[in-house]
Amino acid sequence: MRKFNRFALATLAGAALWAQAPPRNLEIAGAAVHQFEDGPPLGAGESFLPGETVFYSFLVHNFGVAPGGRVRFNYRIDVRDAEGVALVEPAKGTVAIELGPEDKEWVPKVRHEFLIPPHALAGRYRILAEVNDAVTFQQARSEVLFSVRGKELDTSGPLSIKNVAFFRGEEGRNPAVTATYRAGDTLWVRFDITGFKSAENNRMHVVYGLAILNPAGKILFERPEAASETDAPFYPRRYVSAEISLDIQRGTPPGEYTLVLAARDEVGAASCESRHSFRIEP
């Protein structure tokens, strides 16, 4: 079997000899996603996680064959998220080979793999394939859907701090039922920032910080630039997942305190804050 870069020739059972077959419509067949290369198609109800690699393949049927057994077609593969935004850069390629007598019952198989960005949101994503036959000048298209089991988050609207949750420790998975602590504990908070703008090349820059107010509303602690997030990925960032911690000093009087979270969008020149109460018990 003739081999070439990232392609294979797959058997087409029952196919007629290409030299004797009448012209038929170019077709993309068997398009599917897999968890590993040449694995079984992903089953119903299965999905991918952000950060995982998706393997994709399809066969090309009814391609043209020029005199001398020459085959040539171009292809393009696009991957888009639930909102139609390109997930990765398009994959483009050309299959150009010469078939011999031993190749009369074989058809090309195109393979492609791509990484789901870690910041991809949950939704139904699409893989769009297009093949253009340089011999018959025909075109074929295909669409395959797959699910991403990522974060579910509304990223519309202005700069906002969302999903604020208090935790008992750094490794905590479930938020605290009540935001109550004791002097000497460490306060952990996780939240999402959405609504920031992107510049050229999807560049984003978000700064966030915090302040603690005592029961009388006086600032006890303030760090306006506790952390920042800067990135310029191909697939635009729609949210920042943030985490902060603060040691509650021993001797801190019991009472109800206020955590003030603040975020600043350096690209969009916007800012916002969010206030949340917590208690320190005796």
d(CA 174, CA 193): 19
> DSSP assignment of the chain, as one string?
---BTTEEEEE-TTPPPTTTPPP---EEEEEEEESSTT-PBPPTT--B-TTPEEEEEEEEES---BTTTEEEEEEEEEEE-TTS-BSSPPEEEEEEEE--GGGTTEEEEEEEEEEPPTTPBSEEEEEEEEEEETTT--EEEEEEEEEE--B-----SSSEEEEEEEESSTT--S--SS-EEETT-EEEEEEEEE-----GGG-EEEEEEEEEE-TTS-EEEEEEEEEEEEE--SSPP-EEEEEEEEE--TTPPPEEEEEEEEEEETTTTEEEEEEEEEEEE-
Amino acid at 105: E
Give the CATH fold of the 7-148 domain. Immunoglobulin-like (2.60.40)
**pLDDT tens-digit map of 152-196:** 999 999 999 999 999 999 988 899 999 999 999 999 999 999 999
State phi, psi for 101 to the nearest 5 degrees.
-55, -30
Residue 232 vs residues 50, 106, 161, 202, 227: alpha-carbon distances, Å: 18, 43, 21, 5, 17
Chunked into runs of 10 residues, the chain (282 residues) has average pLDDT values of: 42 39 84 96 94 98 94 98 98 96 90 98 98 97 97 97 96 93 96 98 98 97 96 98 95 97 98 98 94
Domain with CATH 2.60.40.3880 in the chain: 7-148, 160-281
Report domain 160-281's class: mainly beta
187 burial (CB, 10 Å; 0-12 / 13-18 / 19+) is buried
Amino acid at 187: L
- Note the pLDDT of residue 44: 85
Our measurement of the distance from residue 155's CA atom to the centroid of its chain's CA atoms, rounded to an integer in Å, reads 14
d(CA 211, CA 192): 17
- Note the pLDDT of residue 177: 93
- Note the pLDDT of residue 106: 81
- Note the pLDDT of residue 23: 65
Query: What is the model's pTM?
Result: 0.85
Our measurement of the distance from residue 118's CA atom to the centroid of its chain's CA atoms, rounded to an integer in Å, reads 6
d(CA 60, CA 30): 9
The two three-digit tokens of residue 199, written as one number: 């510049």
- Note the pLDDT of residue 143: 98
- Note the pLDDT of residue 17: 44
